Structures are given as C-alpha cells and as structure tokens.
A and B are shown apart, each in its own frame.
Chain A
Amino acid sequence: MINELEVRIKRGGAGGGYEDFRVPQRENQTVLDVVTWIQREADPTLTYRFACRVGVCGSCAMTVNGRPRWTCRTHVSKVAGDGRLVIEPLANLPVIKDLASDMTGFFEKWQAARGRFEAAISRDDPLVPVSPTSPERREADAAIECINCGVCYSACDVVAWNPDYLGPAALNRAWAAWNDVRDGDRDGLLRTVGGDAGCGNCHSHQSCAEHCPVEINPTRSIAGLKRASLVALLKGGA
C-alpha cells in the first residue's frame, strides 16, 4: 500500500485553481474520508457538502479523477491505484466555493419538467388501486429510486452543450410521474417534456446510465418519454 496519497483539490469559484495536499492513506478509506481529513487536519477553509456518509442522501457527489461519483461510496483503492486523486466539484453546475456546486438550477429543472404529482381526485374519493405488476408501475419502479444527487446531470454531454436542456434526472422523474396512472394531467406532462428543452435533445450517449450510483437508466426513461410524446403528437394530443 502507498502510505501517502497525492490529492489535488479544485479551490475557489469558477476561476479558481488547484491546491495539492498529501493525505495519509488508510484501509477502507473513501474519497469523502480524504476530503474530510484535509478540512480537519490541513485546511479548515475547504468547502464541501455531505450529510449521511452512507449513500442515502446524495449530497456528497463530486468529480473524482474526471468522473462524477458519490464520494462517500467511492473507495480510494478503487479509483486511485497510483495514489493520486483529483477532486473537483460536479460539472455542469455553477460553483459556490471549492467542492460545493450550486444545485439551484438542477432542482429548478426538476420542477420545470413537471415531475410532481397532479391529483385527479380528492382525498374523499376512494383510493385508485395500482397493481405492482402493471406495465406502468414496473416502468415507474425502474425510475423511482433517484435521490437527486446530480451525478447524471454532471455526466451529461447535452447538458454541457445546451444549458437549457432539462437533463437526465428531471426527465427520468417525469417518466416515473407519467407512468403514475393516477396522475390527472399526463398529456400536459408530455407537452412539457416534448418542448424545446425536453426529451428530444437527448443523444442517447448513456453517460447518465453509466455513472448513476443506483443504476437507474435515465436514457431509457427519456426514450420512453420520446415514444409517449411522439404517440401523443401523432394522435393530436401534444
């Protein structure tokens, strides 16, 4: 085992530079452990974001050796065999400071993609049964475990090229919402995601699916939205 890691950290805001640190290497050490060691032992001004440390909250995502990852679930031994780490904030988002990205635009697009439930009935009406084995429920199941970490958004080439594009996370959520048969405005959702910033922009590069820490396939969800939007358009509903 190498005794010390050479760690290069992106510092400052958009125009910032890099700073190098030497960090003791330990067994079962995650990239988040490395960042935390630097803040506690080397430079307390280092800014980063984390909460749960166990892959539940999705807030510690950063770019590690060029790839977006959850730092809490990324073991140093898996990504830095040569003992070198380059840690940067998530791409495709403005930087607040150091390793903390501003997620505001990401969540605004979540709303813009209409990924929320539109009730068709009131609480006084009887519950609508949804079979766990229905095709729609299975499609929703495949997309629903997203915890909004922003890894797919950071990995997406189209987001990098076209900042207006809603992106894989928001569209994946829209696909889950559209497959909720209780939703009262599924056609409206298709009109939203079929707009100029929507699903038609996806090039199917599949970087989102490649990088998603919980193995969701947003490209597949977006392909589903494309199909549904095309059918609605041809039927005159979109």
Chain B
Amino acid sequence: MSIRLYLLQRVSAAILAVLVLMHLAVIAYAVQGGLSAEEILSRTRGSLGWGLFYGLFVLTVAVHGSIGLRGILTEWTRLGRGAASGAAWASAAILLALGLRAVWAVTA
C-alpha cells in the first residue's frame, strides 16, 4: 500500500483503539442496570455527544477496515490493484451508509 494509505490506516487504528475501549467500558457500565432498547435510547436520543462519538467510530471503521480489506485482497487473491481498490471503496461506502444510518436512528 502507498504511504498515504499506510498513514490513514495507522491514524484510524490509533483513534479506534481509544473509541473501542470507551465503547466496551460503556457496555460494561450500561448493562449493570439491565439491558433494554428503551434504556439505550434514553441515553443516546438527542445526544450530540454520542452522535459525534459513534459518527467518528463509523468513519474510522470504514477507513481502517477498507484499507485492510484492500491489503488482504491484494495479498491473498489474484485480484489486481484496481479491482482490490474498487472493492475497498465499495466496502467503505457500505460501512459508512449502514453505520451512519444506525447512528442517526439511535441519536436523532
């Protein structure tokens, strides 16, 4: 991969490391009082903070996962770099669309 993709993957990994730990910590904390959709939505609905948190989460997942997928396709399949890049862009678009739709659904 080019050094630009290398940088993007490392930066997104560094951000994700923090976000994933916060995500897991919130799960561990939130389930203590029982877990229900209502309880989750009461915390996230109308919350700009959680919207930004999970929006950034989705964005970094889309970047990090797609670059990783491109690397795997390049190294483990006979796809050319163009096809691997196309698949990576498609996966990024799908991850972004599904992820942001979910973030919107629980925070709007």
Residues of A bordering B, CB below 8 Å: 158, 161-162, 164, 194-196, 198-201, 226, 229-230, 233-234, 238
Contact = CB atoms under 8 A, between A and B. Distances in A.
30 contacts: A158-B75, A161-B74, A161-B75, A161-B76, A162-B74, A162-B75, A164-B81, A194-B2, A194-B3, A194-B4, A195-B2, A196-B1, A196-B2, A196-B81, A198-B2, A198-B3, A199-B3, A200-B1, A200-B3, A200-B5, A200-B6, A226-B3, A226-B6, A229-B3, A230-B3, A230-B6, A230-B7, A233-B4, A233-B7, A238-B3
A156 to B, nearest CB: 12
B76 A201 contact: no
Interface residues of B, number: 11
Cβ-closest 7 pairs across A and B: A194-B3, A200-B6, A161-B75, A229-B3, A200-B1, A196-B2, A200-B3
At the interface, is chain B mostly helix, strand, loop or mixed?
helix
Given A161-B75, A233-B7, A201 B1 contact: yes
Contacts of A226: 3, 6
Contacts of B2: 194-196, 198, 200
A129 B69 CA distance: 47
Contacts of A164: 81
A229 to B, nearest CB: 4
At the interface, is chain A mostly helix, strand, loop or mixed?
helix
Interface in B1-43: 1-7
Contacts of A194: 2-4
A175 to B, nearest CB: 14
Contacts of A234: 7
B29 to A, nearest CB: 37
Interface in B45-100: 74-76, 81
Contacts of B1: 196, 200-201
Nearest to B76: A161
B67 to A, nearest CB: 10
A74 B74 CA distance: 35
Nearest to A228: B3
A161 B7 CA distance: 22
Contacts of B4: 194, 233
A238 B6 CA distance: 13
A191 B5 CA distance: 13
A171 to B, nearest CB: 12
Contacts of B6: 200, 226, 230
A158 to B, nearest CB: 7
Contacts of A229: 3
B74 to A, nearest CB: 6
A109 to B, nearest CB: 16
